[in-house]
Amino acid sequence: MTAPELDELIAFVREGDTVFVHSMDRLAHNLDDLRRLVRVLTGKGVRVEFVKESLTFTGEDSPMATLLLSVMGAFAEFERSLILERQREGIAAAKAQGVYTGLGINRDTVYSYLRAGTAAE
């Protein structure tokens, strides 16, 4: 997972800082990334607090806290997968009914069609 803002956060935080995260699924989209990010941050001496889940990680966490991170992170990943699956199903149903048009095309694509003389009139 690469996000410029996340990379900037990791570079910016210092020992003794606390990073507040609304929920686990806001920090990472899969369990591996979540565990890695918590490990990187706590390895720098940074506390990571997940507000929605009421969990805090410091790097000196109990086995129970580590288990909770894994279980709750897995549930967050599962929930995200279900949302994406429902979204795909909804788009397919809308396409079948002829009501889904997608995002259309962007300005650069329109200009390329115009330059090539292949634009529909």
Provide the token pair at 95.
Answer: 């396409």
Decide which of 119 and 75 is more confident.
75
Measured between alpha carbons, how far is 26 from 41 in angstroms, rounded to an integer? 15
Domains, the chain, in order of start with CATH, read 4-101 (3.40.50.1390)
Measured between alpha carbons, how far is 23 from 120 in angstroms, rounded to an integer? 47
**φ, ψ dihedrals at 56, nearest 5°:** -130, 135
Contact between 18 and 47 under an 8 Å Cβ cutoff? The reply is yes
pTM of the model: 0.70
Q: What pLDDT, on the 0 to 100 scale, is given for residue 120?
A: 61
Statement: residue 53 has pLDDT above 70: yes
Statement: residue 2 has pLDDT above 70: no
Decide which of 34 and 109 is more confident.
34
Statement: residue 67 has pLDDT above 80: yes
